[in-house]
Amino acid sequence: MSLRLGAAAATATLGCTALAATGTAAAPIDTATPAGPGRPNIVFVLADDLGWADVSTGLANKGSGNPYNETHTIDRLAQEGIAFDNAYGGPNCVPTRAAILTGLYAPRPANNLYLVGDLDRGGDDTLLDGASQGLPDGDDALPAEAYTVGEALRDAGYATGYVGKFHVTKTADQITTDFGFEENLGGSNSGHASEYHAIDGTFNNSVGPALDRFAADYTQQYVDENIKPHSHGVTDAALDALVGTDKHVTDAVADATIDFIDRHKNEPFFTWVSNYAIHTPIGAKQPRADLLAKYRAKPAVPGHPANAPYSALLEGLDQGLARLVHHLETTPDPRNPGHPLADNTIVVVTSDNGGTANADNGWLSGYKGELREGGLRVPTAVWSKGEHLVDGGVVDSTPVHAVDYLPTFASLAGANLPRGLRPDGTDVSGIWRNANAELGARPLFWHLPGYLIAGVRDQRPETVIRSGPWKLSYHYETQDWDLYHLDSDIGETTDLATAYPDVTWRLGSRLIRWLDDVDAPLATLRDGKAPITVTVQGTAYSDGKITHYDAPTALTVRPGDEVPVLLPTAVTGR
């Protein structure tokens, strides 16, 4: 379901300001005729830990954007393109990146990633023991044989480049040897940048060494050409003070992306722009100095978090995006003479997971690392100057998931996927084109057979299905169900499982069938814990199979056994 914005939204919507094209003049470009039919370029921009309401626009978060933050470019793309307010990642970066890369849900063997680290991030005395994940040695990385979106587009004739954080790999070399990216500019097995600035022209070892080519100190020419045109509310003197200081990794990511685009604009290109921002560390040393000073001087907005270093890192990311968009709009397209690259390029901006305790998750409950909406829902915008690619000015409430990107990008590229590969996601490019493509109430799933208990987070073994407005969760420690109607209760405050037993049974049955389809592993009763005995009449799933019990049956779970999903027939009086 989508809502088309009025004409005024092109310049101002919910207090957002459109970004004027600025910077170095380019050759005149004819925009009077439609772009050519060549396969589109794809620029996929992934923020790290960007909360649902962190952006200043309200279009991607049902009006709950944070006006303290300034995300001028994301706001513009949401206004001119399609803003999705029901877009989802995973609970944290590893499962989301794996899902985007493979198009597969976590339990599939070619994915098998649920959390960063391991699934026992709750101490040694939790009731259950998390399942194993990742590679046989426990690394939270994809197997070399996983087929990725990089391979799909490379095999379809695209130039494929990866810029920034990768994480889900055993070695940096695999990004190019196994995962389909012809160039790797900064990716490694590191989960974050431990320091955002280079030191004397070199980033530390948390950033892949290929980005060092873009790590030289700021020069006056660089500041004048790349920062001043996209800066807001900062004096020229404050920007000039950057000259001679250490380069910020977010600017280096933008530099590397533009360099890749320029070298491959004669062919269709796919570039994955994986920002390190706004992941921790977050402190006074991490943002660019001009942005930190700006937010330190800015008054807080009641009802919204106001963390100056965090907001400064976020606006730095947004300025890098501004440079990319401006470059696409002002660079002639060799494959489509008379038009800029933007006429045949799709830009997708999203986040890997919901926000941390530093973020603004709006009305949502929960944080990164949890299966509450605040941990899963992400701001997302899709934009192009080519109306044949993105028919913009729309807020779309279709629930979309990280697994949708591989089939969507493969469809746009005309890629033939390997025989037998069936992505779990759906091609959503028809929604982008406003081609009357309705996905209906297709179910979306999340499965976490382990723990993440730390700080404000209290995530325990759980499986979730979302279908239409309904979200149903199964909790393995207590063997019970929670049901929420997200259209009327986005904050997940009122459990409706007993009030709507038919919905609980219907979605619970679908959840169990999905677990069986993907052969999902479950958490097991921890050694040393007393056996658990339950009586069930209905359906159960464990050990990779579904069992139906027509009469009341006592089940005993002993240490080392999987704790099953139980859906009693009595839930509906059937």
pLDDT tens digits for 117-152?
Answer: 999 999 999 999 999 999 999 999 999 999 999 999
Sorted by sequence, the CB contacts under 8 Å of residue 573 that are 6+ apart come out as 501
Q: CB–CB of 40/333 below 8 Å?
A: no
Question: Strands 82-84 and 128-129, how do they pair?
Answer: unpaired
What is the rounded average pLDDT of the residues 407-413?
Answer: 98
Q: Mean pLDDT, the chain, as a whole number?
A: 93
Sorted by sequence, the CB contacts under 8 Å of residue 296 that are 6+ apart come out as 308
149-168 pLDDT tens trace: 999 999 999 999 999 999 99
Return the SS3 of 398: coil
Q: Which of 204, 213, 164, 212 is nearest to 188 (CA)?
A: 164
| Residue listed under structure tokens 């873009």 | 214
Return the SS3 of 501: helix
200-233 pLDDT tens trace: 999 999 999 999 999 999 999 999 999 999 999 9
Q: CB–CB of 486/507 below 8 Å?
A: no
Instruction: Estimate to the nearest angstrom the gap between the alpha carbon of 537 and the chain centroid.
Output: 39
Distance CA 61, CA 46 (A): 17
Helical (H) or strand (E) element with 256: helix 249-264
Q: How confident is the model at residue 9 (pLDDT cuts 50, 70, 90)?
A: very low
pTM assigned to the model: 0.93
Q: Indicate whether 179 pLDDT > 70.
A: yes
Q: Which amino acid is at 75?
A: D
Q: How far apart are the first and last CA of the chain?
A: 34
349-382 pLDDT tens trace: 999 999 999 999 999 999 999 999 999 999 999 9
436-446 pLDDT tens trace: 667 777 999 99
Return the SS3 of 542: strand
Q: Which value, in Å, is the radius of gyration of the alpha carbons in the chain? A: 24
325-343 pLDDT tens trace: 999 999 999 999 999 999 9
Distance CA 430, CA 433 (A): 5
Segments of 92-138 assigned E as strands: 120-121, 128-129
Q: Which residues of 212-227 are buried (b: 16+ CB within 10 A; e: fewer)?
A: bebbbebeeebbbebb
Return the SS3 of 342: helix
Read off the tokens for 276.
């390190």
